[in-house]
Structure 1
Amino acid sequence: MDKPNARRVNKVAMPTMGGLAIFLAFNLTNFFLLKSQYPQKQMWLLFLAELVVIFTGVVDDLIELKPAQKMLGIFLAALVVYFAAGVRMTTLTLPFVGTVNLGLLSFPVTILWILAITNAVNLIDGLDGLATGVSIIALFTSALTGYFFLNVTNVYISIMIFNLIAALAGFLPYNFNPAKIYLGDTGSLFIGFMMAIFSLSGLKNATFITLIIPVVIMGVPITDTVYAILRRKLNNRPISQADKHHLHHRLIQMGLSHRQTVLVIYGIALIFSLIAFLYPFSSLLGSFLLTLATLVGLEIFVELIGLVGDDRQPLLNLIKRLALGFKSDKNKKNTSNKK
């Protein structure tokens, strides 16, 4: 049971570990649909890695592991994926540089990617239906962009993604506000782990475009995680220390209801997905400008809602100074013309 406390938003104890149902539905469907297509050895090794993640989540839901202990479990699962299943990023093609063989860097880059995405999804699981809905949007976009634009030719990857979407869609009515059951860390860690694995299937030989698209698709959890780290560093707090200043907390503190907050964040996830669809049709310059515009717009939004802190608005303050300077110059010019 997930009991209320100072950091949680639920008012009553709530059944948790709903992620077990998602895990079972996803894997039963995979084995039924893909038993003749998916490489059997890789399927079983991936299943083994999933079991490590599920075990970590169940233990965390029961006795609440320390962040380092939780990440150790994900790290062990990532090792299985990297060394046994062979899911890894090996090369990177950069503009003006060409193809770079990652070599020994393949290991830390792949492991860090899995840890980062898994933890990011885990962090946004703070409201009824939030992580479930955002994950559905991100996974649907990943399936479409991967199949049509990123040359992920293995059809079984798309099938697996849609199997997970179906499992999440079946769970969402019971998880949406007012929830009857929570994902628990069992669910959020599993979903994040699978999203990381799926995205790596399109990043084996990464280019600038194939690298940026999954990052944009998972913009909501990545943004929340990056700014949580920045916020805690600026406030001289441990990075692993939980707080009530995540994206969903800030929106609720601004006056939105629980359900409104979730729907707003769904909308933000959809915007990120639409931006991701623009990259395959953009030139190198267009991709650069699109990325720049996305980052500027994101920073303005973050400062407006005070995700880092109400008094930390460097970009907004710069815009205000430039606007005041422009207005002052215009007034001086008008005064000079009158004379």
Structure 2
Amino acid sequence: MRAAEGREAQAPPRDARLAAGLLTLALLAACGLSDWLVANSMLTLPLLVAGLVSAGVTAWGVPRLRQLKLGQVIREEGPQAHHSKAGTPTMGGLLVVPVGVIVGGLVSPADPRLLAVATVTLAFMAVGAVDDWRSLTRRTNTGLTPRGKLLLQAGAALLFLIGAASGGWLGGASPGDVVLPLGWILPLGLLIWPLGLFVFLAESNATNLTDGLDGLAAGCGAVVFTGMGLQLMLRGHEGDPALAAFCTAMAGCWLGFLAHNRNPARLFMGDTGSLAMGAALSAVALLSNSLWPLLVMGGVFLAESLSVIVQVWVFKATKGADGVGRRVLRMAPLHHHLELGGLPEIQVVNRFWITSLLLVLLGLVLLP
């Protein structure tokens, strides 16, 4: 616990605080512009309310989590500089994910799609909480077995897909079709089911892999949720105000969390938060036929996931008799490669945030 207390006693670096403030202002400005220019747009209020409530709840929750001794266990093979983070309270997702879900659901409580998105988000949060809890009680960086974790995620995703299909929501207005740019449509039919399952597993684990530096996943998640909300209002004449507002509520909860998660972090989201983040993005994308925008806007999550896949594949493919293979990166995921290359943690985070902002702009330009 001494390391965590020492980290908390330090004043947050000015550039980390400034970067988080500028990111918040940028997302608020984007939502405000949408509300001003687009009919039926109501993005700013959910963002503000969820952000303020989340910041307050996390401020209240940090000392409680510390009293419960829910301190992060740092994996031995990770960067040595991260060992000072050991003992920092984790499972912060328990504090903020319900805030985003509740605020987003209250925007349009009669819309059953929001209940479906909220349910699968909370289900993935529960899976992450079990994983985090087992890690903490065992004092290791591993909780559930990879197979057990995937099975629980797949089960929650399948229940969502069944509910969405029975409600006629899967794929938005054209069930089974995936809308692409330039007016192209990919008619998948029943193949939308395995694709939907893959999206849930891939996206939730990609956000999980991204959660490795102070403020990285929270900031990128806030940007992508805002981008998804914006594109939902810009597609078509009526847009989709309910799902769009849900997205900005989730963005707000992560911005509020960022007030305590920016460098030096006083709180980590854990798998509790990162799995829920990916599940919410997947659910919204599948219900609104926004898989293409999510792929583009969530490019940072995709790059982080691919960096791990490539690293593992090359290592196994080139492994010699001594059991050692070649490495493409100094360490996977990608953010650790850049960090070990000499780039300070705060700069890695800021560059990934900026990349996410640029990818959101690209996604808006390439709207189906």
Shift of 1:97: 11
Shift of 1:273: 1.8
CA RMSD of aligned residues (A): 2.6
SS at match of 2:366: helix
- Could you tell me which residue of structure 2 aligns to residue 6 of structure 1? 76
SS at match of 2:288: coil
- Could you tell me which residue of structure 2 aligns to residue 252 of structure 1? 339
From 252, 262, 266, the equivalent of 1:166 is: 252
Deviates most, 147-156 or 261-270:
147-156
From 32, 56, 62, the equivalent of 2:106 is: 32
- Aligned residues of 1:53 and 1:190 also touching (Cα < 8 A): yes
From 96, 102, 109, the equivalent of 1:22 is: 96
Whether 1:149 and 2:235 are equivalent positions in the alignment is yes
| Identical columns (%) | 27
Q: Which is higher, the Rg of structure 1 or of structure 2? A: 1
From 147, 150, 154, the equivalent of 1:75 is: 154
Whether 1:50 and 2:97 are equivalent positions in the alignment is no
Bigger relative CO (Cα 8 Å, ≥ 6 apart): 2
Question: Aligned partners of 1:166, 1:38: CA distance in 2, in Å?
Answer: 20
Deviations 1:195-231 (A, max 9, x none): 111222331xxxxxx5533211000011121232122
- Could you tell me which residue of structure 1 aligns to residue 28 of structure 2? none
Deviations 1:266-289 (A, max 9, x none): 1221222222222149xxxxxxxx
- Could you tell me which residue of structure 2 aligns to residue 289 of structure 1? none
Question: Aligned partners of 1:276, 1:188: CA distance in 2, in Å?
Answer: 22
Gaps of 5+ in 2: 1-70, 135-142, 320-329
Deviations 1:143-189 (A, max 9, x none): 11221036783311011011111111111010111001100000000
SS at match of 1:137: helix
SS at match of 1:193: helix
Residues 152, 118 of structure 1: alpha-carbon distance in 2 compared, 3 angstrom cutoff:
farther
From 186, 200, 205, the equivalent of 2:286 is: 200
Question: Aligned partners of 2:127, 2:291: CA distance in 1, in Å?
Answer: 28
TM-score by length of 1: 0.72
Residues 187, 150 of structure 1: alpha-carbon distance in 2 compared, 3 angstrom cutoff:
farther
Gaps of 5+ in 1: 204-209, 282-339
- Aligned residues of 2:114 and 2:246 also touching (Cα < 8 A): no
- Could you tell me which residue of structure 1 aligns to residue 358 of structure 2? 271
SS at match of 1:92: strand
- Aligned residues of 1:120 and 1:224 also touching (Cα < 8 A): yes
- Could you tell me which residue of structure 2 aligns to residue 225 of structure 1? 305
Question: Aligned partners of 2:260, 2:183: CA distance in 1, in Å?
Answer: 49
- Could you tell me which residue of structure 1 aligns to residue 178 of structure 2? 92
Shift of 1:103: 2.3
- Spell out the pairing of 1:112-191 with structure 2 (5 A cutoff): 112-149=198-235, 153-191=239-277
Shift of 1:100: 5.1
- Aligned residues of 1:19 and 1:188 also touching (Cα < 8 A): yes
Question: Aligned partners of 2:124, 2:291: CA distance in 1, in Å?
Answer: 25
* Count, aligned residues: 268
SS at match of 1:5: coil
Shift of 1:102: 2.0
Question: Aligned partners of 1:152, 1:113: CA distance in 2, in Å?
Answer: 27
Residue 38 of structure 1 aligns with an amino acid whose one-letter code is D
